[in-house]
Copies of this chain bind each other. A is one copy, B any other.
Amino acid sequence: MIWVYFAIFLAACFAVGSTGGLFPPGPWYERLKKPRWTPPNWLFPVAWTTLYLCIAAAGARAAISPDNGLAMALWALQIALNGLWTPVFFGLQKMRLGLIVLMGLWGAVAACMVALWMVDWIAGVLFVPYLVWVSVAGALNFSVLRLNPEQASEKAQG
């Protein structure tokens, strides 16, 4: 059954990941001032595809384990928040709200990692790259917000 679970969790990941194609960065994002360490655009889908495989594998390992309630609840919370960021940031171009969503996502991923670890340590390890990437994404969102204050205030009023 672990492969069935893996397929279902992966479908959930790609459902939220599809927002990346539906709400692409576009000219608005291109024009924003970005920090020098901004990863190149091509890296984002590559990173997310790899991460989604790890996230789904972690979910499947926890799903076949006993006493998985907390890990499963937090897995659901992180995927819900994961799907929210792209429509908020690229769709609505709300950088401040995007940062709030990312902070919530970071907390959910960190808590889920710990809960997974208590159920199955390999599942916990599989969430480590995810937490690292969300930290990078949060730092990038924060930097872009600081470097483009006129965009942030304009959208906050809009």
Contacts and interface: CB of A to CB of B under 8 A. Distances in A.
A84 interface: yes
B79 A5 contact: no
B77 A12 contact: yes
Interface string A52-68: 00000001100110101
Given A18-B84, A63-B72, 14 more contacts: A8-B70, A8-B77, A9-B73, A11-B77, A12-B73, A15-B80, A15-B104, A16-B84, A22-B88, A63-B69, A63-B73, A68-B72, A72-B76, A76-B79
A83 interface: yes
A23 interface: yes
B69 A5 contact: yes
Contacts of A88: 22
7 residue pairs, one from A and one from B, having the closest CB atoms: A63-B69, A8-B73, A12-B80, A72-B72, A87-B87, A15-B80, A12-B77
Contacts of A92: 22-23, 91
B83 A84 contact: yes
A40 to B, nearest CB: 26
A87 B23 contact: yes
Given A91-B91, A92-B22, A8 B74 contact: yes
Q: Which of A68, A70, A76 has the most CB of B within 10 A?
A: A76
Interface string A9-31: 10111011011001100000000
A4 interface: yes
A5 B77 contact: no
